[in-house]
Amino acid sequence: EVKMKEPRGALIVLEGLDRSGKSSQSSRLASYLKEKGYSAELWRFPDRTTDTGKMISAYLANTSQMDDRCIHLLFSANRWEKRSLMEAKLKTGTTLIVDRYSYSGVAFSSAKGLDFQWCKAPDIGLPAPDLVIFLDISPEEAARRGEYGVERYEKLDFQKKVAESYKALRDNSWMVVDASQSIDHVENELRDKVLECVLDCQKGNPISHLWL
Ligand code: Z5A
Ligand code: MG
């Protein structure tokens, strides 16, 4: 008996410095896929609505303090809380466009000086993205965009360290896009690649797991 592979959704992650345009592009890409008739959802991490998410939100707003390792593990737990739902959605054919994921976890915590491998460890076994899109922008240019400086990590010196951490994480499977272009221009660059990834996942290749 030959078992047909089930078409599945794609896990597509957007990463980049603060103000690189992740949220703008994620929501545009999710709308684009839905307009084309694909089942797609927009997700983001941290998910501030869960119990861990509320603790994370208070930490980011500077209304609570936490040990660096403790907050790192909370960010990871916030993803693990969503693991089974994430896999269920993918397996039933829904594509997830995810605004930040494990790479943010490692980039921000290692920028504080925590060991790189230690930072990766708690996310071992989470679903691995089928595509990582990196919105590339200099820390200086990002800082010139709106509302910078409200939350804990939104400071130029720290963002420079985060940029270095992202460089250490990147490999050539990532799609790196010049995020200093206009919002429309960036979106146009992303559309075909995202569609290609969605079509590829419909072939039913199994979901892989971090870290690849
Ligand atoms: N964090 C962590 O430490 N560990 C983890 O595991 C995770 C996260 C998952 C909260 O993230 C913080 O948590 C974050 C990392 C840390 N650190 N900080 N700070 P967040 O996702 O909630 O952060 P945010 O404030 O919602 O998003 P953002 O990253 O700062 O921005 P963005 O989503 O990349 O950009 P945007 O909201 O789409 O655009 C920002 C502004 O720029 C807005 O006014 C846009 O209209 C404008 N914009 C966007 N694109 C363009 C272009 N192309 N040209 C001109 N202007 C543009
Ligand atoms: Mg955002």
**Structure confidence at residue 59 (pLDDT):** 97
With residues binned 3-state (H G I as helix, E B as strand, rest as coil), the percentages for the chain, rounded to 5, are 50, 15, 40
Question: What is the chain's alpha carbon radius of gyration, rounded to the nearest angstrom?
Answer: 17
Ligand 1 nearest-atom number relative to CA 142: 42
In terms of DSSP bridges, do strands 131-136 and 11-16 run parallel, antiparallel, or are they unpaired? parallel
pLDDT per residue as tens digits for the range 37-80 = 999 999 999 999 999 999 999 999 999 899 999 999 999 999 99
Domains of the chain, earliest start first: 11-201 (3.40.50.300)
Q: Which residues pair with 132 in a beta bridge?
A: 13
Which residues does 38 contact at the CB level (< 8 Å), separation at least 6?
95, 198
Residue 50 main-chain phi, psi, to 5 deg? -85, 175
Sign of CA dihedral 23, 194, 91, 100: negative
Position 150 scores a pLDDT of 67
Instruction: Name the H helices within 5-94.
Output: 22-35, 51-60, 68-80, 83-91
Q: Return mean pLDDT, the chain.
A: 95
CA of 183 to the centre of ligand 1 (A): 14
Does the Cβ of 184 fall within 6 Å of ligand 1?
no
Closest CA to 167 of 187, 191, 159, 203: 159
At 200 the three-state DSSP class reads: helix
Answer yes or no: is the C-beta of 165 below 6 A from any ligand 1 atom. Answer: no
**Token pair 């054919």: residue:** 93
Residue 146 has pLDDT above 80, yes or no: no
Number of C-beta neighbours around residue 3 at 10 A: 5
- Closest atom, ligand 1, to C-alpha of 102: 6
* DSSP of 117-156: HHHHGGGTTSBPPSEEEEEE--HHHHHTSTTTTSSTT--H
Query: What is the mean pLDDT of the segment spanning 168-178?
Result: 97
Pocket flag, ligand 1, residue 24 (CB < 6 Å): yes
What is the mean predicted confidence (pLDDT) over 6-28? 96
Q: What is the DSSP string of 44-67?
A: ESS-TTSHHHHHHHHHHTTSS---
Cα(3) to centroid of ligand 2, in Å?
Answer: 41
Ligand 1 pocket member 174 (CB < 6 A): no
Q: Is the pLDDT of residue 35 over 80?
A: yes
- What pLDDT was estimated at residue 147? 65
ipTM of model:
0.97
Place of tokens 């957007």: 14
